[in-house]
Amino acid sequence: MLNSLYIENIAVIEKTTIEFQSGFNVLTGETGAGKSIIIGAVNSLLGGKISRDMIRSGENYALVSGSFTVNNPTVTELLTHYGYEFDEDNELLLQRKFTANGKNSCRINGRPATLSILKEIAGYLVNIHGQHESYHLMSSEKHISYIDSMGNLDELKTEYRKNLAKLRECKKELHNAQMEDSQRERQIDLLKYQIKEIEEADPKEGEYEHLTEERTKALNIQDILKGLSAVDRLLNGNDGLDGCLSFLKECGNELSTVAEYLPQAEKLSERITNSYYDLQDCSQEIVNLIAETDIDPYRLTEIEERLDLLYRLSKKYGSTTQEILTFYENAKTELVRLEDYEFSRERLQKEYDDYFQKTKQLALQLSAKRKEISVDFMAKVKEEMKFLDMPNVNLKVHTERCPLNENGCDKLEFLISANLGEEPKPVSKIASGGELSRMMLAITNVLAKNNIVDTMIFDEVDTGISGSASQKVGYKLKSLSETRQVICITHQAQIASLADEHLFIQKKTENNRTFTQVTHLDFEQRKQELARIIGGVSITEITLQHAEEMLNQLKGVAL
């Protein structure tokens, strides 16, 4: 149940908090006072779209917050699943803030939430039925959803749609397998060429990097040899000149002589001698490096050619050796499939036939259930519409077979006749605005038992009706409010008089700015408001008496 709604900076509403009660809540007021803005604010709180133009002039953000009491276990499970805390009083707070630059943020019980999570949870809290929804009846494509809702066919439809998706996927694979022979042969030839090219190249992991390193060495061979030779000369000497090894050896010998007279020099002699032997090892390794670096002059050409081949492969089959090898394996698999065409085609055809039969059977099950449900659905809607001052209404469901689609193999359309002696015809061709409103309310009432939301909002569903029909619409809304919270915007005094809670929406101007004000009306204030709706500008004593009678009319009426 929606306990309170806080709106800030939306259109003419600067700041307002609206408290709602259980039962039947009615909102009335002059046209343009902001009633529909309130419904729009609720819709945005439920995750609906909202234009930046709706932000109050001069402000850079708008905020909507709603406090709910939740008794739906599905909502509790969702909150737990998404990690939101839920207090012992079953209180839930939803918030949505949107700014002039297009950004918006959502919160659930004070914690950030995504818009998709907010939508999912809100879908179990509130349903909004507007006058535009009545015009959904004009579109026959919508009719099938009412029948499915009545019969709780979601589980069967989900199974059907899963099989339909597999059937479509299988059909696509079969179509690919049934390509023309010439196209298939061309594909086989291309795959064979690609496989052969990769096999002949025989690329190895890390080969490109190793060859690049070797090429760098070959291109700089002269500088490498020059540096190694210079170090060799410094160590071993050249052209009759001694190198540092000779000097180290001489240093060691001199210290050995000194050690006979100065024992402390013995350790120094050992250290220098050890350094001499270490440098001798280094000298030998340098000589070996010089010998190994003497590269074959044709090797650089071989390296360049190999790197060029690997580069060309990478441009065709993948930027890395691993990607090239993966392409190679996939190409071999595809080649086997194409060469084994007949077997693959037969397997796919059998798989397609199996899915087609299963999907068709599920579609026929849906069709049979819809046929059964339609009879009960139309009978109940007809009874509701008779109560709503359409005693001669006749309703039928026209069904046609159609190709398999998301809803099965049925095309449904509601037919209606409002007058005796007339054959039922499509709703879109003969129903008036008032008839559409009453039919939509009748359908809503019939489906209410299958609807698990605690709050239902009706935005001017009384469009196009008046007199006793309006009063009976009010009775239906009142009856609906006995099992859930009902919030209704209306311009009909007959409906407003039945409210448990009456809210008056008024537009005021202060300091050259327009504001919307929401007032909870007591009995006398309600009498004045009903008199305004009935009599307009001129409110007489008789009008006030009439309004008072209407406020007392519910006593003794069986809903």
Residue 389 backbone dihedrals phi, psi, to 5 degrees: 65, 35
Q: How many CA atoms lie within 13 A of 107 on its CB side?
A: 13
DSSP structure class, residue 241:
B
- Cα angle vertex 515, ends 510, 516, to 5°? 140
Q: 35 and 29 in contact (C-beta within 8 Å)?
A: yes
Q: How many residues does the chain have?
A: 559
CB 96 within 8 A of CB 44: yes
Res 137: pLDDT? 67
Mode of pairing for the β-strands spanning 104-108 and 111-113: antiparallel
The pLDDT, as a whole number, for residue 126 is: 86
> Read out DSSP for 389-412?
T-TT-EEEEEEEEEEEETTEEEEE
Vertex 94 angle, CA 92 and 97, to 5°? 160
Sequence-separated (6 or more) residues with CB below 8 Å from residue 338: 184, 187, 188, 191
How do the residues of the chain divide into helix, strand and coil, expressed in percent and rounded to 5?
Answer: 55, 20, 25
pLDDT score, position 556: 46
Its sign, for the CA torsion 339, 342, 345, 347, is negative
The pLDDT value given to residue 456: 86
Query: What contacts 192, CB < 8 A, 6 or more positions away?
Result: 335
And the tokens for 514? 């327009």
Q: Are strands 455-459 and 425-426 parallel, antiparallel or unpaired?
A: unpaired
Q: Where are the domains of the chain?
A: 188-338
Low-confidence ranges of the chain (pLDDT < 50): 556-559
DSSP string, 99-134: ETTS-EEEEETTEEE-HHHHHHHHTTTEEEEEHHHH
Quote the tokens at residue 23. Answer: 């039962």
HSE-up of residue 376 (Cα within 13 Å, Cβ side): 13
Q: How far apart are CA 539 and CA 34, in angstroms?
A: 23
Alpha-carbon distance of 446 to 378, in angstroms, equals 10
What is the separation of C-alpha 451 from the centre of its chain, rounded to a whole number of angstroms?
A: 24
CA distances from 257 to 83, 242, 248, 319 (A): 86, 22, 15, 68
pTM of structure: 0.61
Say which residues have a Cβ less than 8 Å from residue 472's Cβ, sequence separation at least 6.
387, 388, 389
Chain centroid to CA 22: 33
CA distance 290 to 231: 11
Contact 248, 283 (CB under 8 A): no
Per-residue DSSP letter, 238: B
Nearest to 28 by CA among 515, 456, 498: 498
One-letter amino acid of 406: E
